[in-house]
Structure 1
């Protein structure tokens, strides 16, 4: 099925108006609903590292650049995983999950045949060039970080059947966006701040994103020979690791916010930690008990909102200080 067959519907199994560009298919390729929430993380980093709001020009260019970067990297994931995703679907049938953020439109549209590989590659190249130009304009270091992210994302995908420790690469890739945002607003950020920022995002990504995302595919992955945290560690250990990583991320957030150049006040950095705990720990604890796909989806969805919650707290700090 071609993108023009999917103009008005989010499913490849529904009729559509022919001859129209199906933007939703491309947005599904880049997991845009998830990607939009991810934008909060580099925005948080920019505020924390810059000590306040950047200039209007940097804000405008930064918004375009981070959107382009996340759009490109998520599309790259599906492009590199195209053959393995297609083989898994052929061997195990349709993916019937629901209430899962990454399947808001359709999951793996390339493997489903909703668009061709050249079309997907052109989409990736367009956004990658836009992201590179924007990143280089902000700071050449940001452009090199973008290239590193694309290389590491490719390595992450290619290691699917090699080792479950590839999850660490996923954590690094997710942390590179906030690191780039830091260099965009401060040419010489503190190494200690960068280390704390990296650890905060890395722990959140592993506990709230990587493990629950791979949870859904565990049965397929096991049959396919893939090596992921839930497959190798088992559901019990993987769920406990998710809880531990999320707790670590929440604890790391407090000194990060307090000691950053933004110097977030104690009531607000404490509020960010408490509200974050209320957001992510109940579904994580429930996953430990139930070990169900539905609870893994709930954890993934709620953890995806955590950076946006922190961003709201930072905006409040800017308004009241």
Structure 2
């Protein structure tokens, strides 16, 4: 097999191709993920933070997600390369995480040192911004990077590493809560964590690993679909997503933002419409295309909830 997969278009040598770096950080997906911390900040503060906090928060959150997603591909570089060399090009279409190039490092689209420099730049930006917002935010970022590294290194050890993935995704919204409130209520933090964790497991982790299950099994990887099997993994996705959309109701209504009952129900019904039909179709068909559909639609769930919160702020 050649260095670059035949179906992957990489930048010519010596030319800086921004899309390759954006692919490393899964930026289209990462931009959607920003809605989660924005939701957390509005809910925890009970309204809009000062403009300076909004601007700094936007830069910090973008830098944080950009760094952590790049870190994932850097730590997974060797295992991703083995998959590419053993299985050839990934020919799936319509998958959000492959909007540019999936695993550009493994396909030889950029060098490992260049990827590390990209990660370090955004990690420094994120840490500086997080520290300026709150030292707690900065240490949550460090914890996220360490846990993301552990998540990747446990690929061939245990499928329970998915729990770490759920924790990592929850740390961004938790940091956003501390950025706008130095002492957020404990119940709110628990509810926020549970809400993001269940969405991540059912709508992101399981369908994402579903795509690679055949390749993962061949290379000894331990993921939820590989270890539990497709049927049980799909049922777990349905259960966690259902739990997540239900958890949102008391979280929204009881938060300092005090989202109205009608809009809390909109979040419930809208979320259920967005994530449960594809999850149920996946459980019925066990088809890879349905896993893509679930991942893509679930990725928009935080944005839907953010829209509900903004409407509440406009109408109140």
> TM bucket by the smaller chain?
over 0.9
TM-score where L is the length of structure 2: 0.97
- 1:50-61 counterparts in 2 under 5 A? 50-61=45-56
**How far apart in 1 are the matches of 2:289 and 2:26?**
19
Paired positions, count? 311
- Give 1:116's aligned residue: 111
Q: Please tell me whether residue 100 in structure 1 is matched to residue 105 in structure 2.
A: no
**How far apart in 2 are the matches of 1:13 and 1:146?**
33
Structure 1 residues 18 and 92, CA gap change in structure 2 (3 angstroms): closer
Deviation at 1:19, TM superposition (A): 5.3
Find 1:136's aligned residue among 127, 131, 140. Answer: 131
Question: Structure 1, residues 18-44: CA drift from partner, whole Å, max 9, x if none?
Answer: 754200000000000000000000000
- Give 1:282's aligned residue: 277
**How far apart in 1 are the matches of 2:200 and 2:12?**
39
**How far apart in 2 are the matches of 1:20 and 1:76?**
22
Find 2:9's aligned residue among 2, 8, 13. Answer: 13
**How far apart in 1 are the matches of 2:83 and 2:293?**
24
- Give 1:220's aligned residue: 215
**How far apart in 1 are the matches of 2:143 and 2:66?**
16
**How far apart in 1 are the matches of 2:121 and 2:69?**
13
Question: Structure 1, residues 253-280: CA drift from partner, whole Å, max 9, x if none?
Answer: 0000000000000000110010010011
**How far apart in 2 are the matches of 1:228 and 1:123?**
28
User: Which contiguous aligned blocks of 4+ residues in structure 1 show a shift greater than 2 angstroms?
Assistant: 11-14, 16-20
**How far apart in 1 are the matches of 2:283 and 2:170?**
26
TM-score where L is the length of structure 1: 0.95
SS at match of 1:226: coil
Deviation at 1:125, TM superposition (A): 0.1
Question: Structure 1, residues 217-237: CA drift from partner, whole Å, max 9, x if none?
Answer: 000000000000000000000
Question: Structure 1, residues 279-306: CA drift from partner, whole Å, max 9, x if none?
Answer: 1100000000111110000000000000
- Give 1:8's aligned residue: none
SS at match of 2:160: helix
Deviation at 1:92, TM superposition (A): 1.0
- Give 2:58's aligned residue: 63
**How far apart in 2 are the matches of 1:13 and 1:247?**
39
Deviation at 1:13, TM superposition (A): 3.4
- 1:261-276 counterparts in 2 under 5 A? 261-276=256-271
Unaligned segments of structure 1, at least 5 residues:
6-10
- Give 1:80's aligned residue: 75
Question: Structure 1, residues 50-78: CA drift from partner, whole Å, max 9, x if none?
Answer: 00000000000000000000000000000
SS at match of 1:262: coil
SS at match of 1:164: coil
SS at match of 1:108: coil
Q: Please tell me whether residue 209 in structure 1 is matched to residue 201 in structure 2.
A: no
Q: Please tell me whether residue 190 in structure 1 is matched to residue 191 in structure 2.
A: no
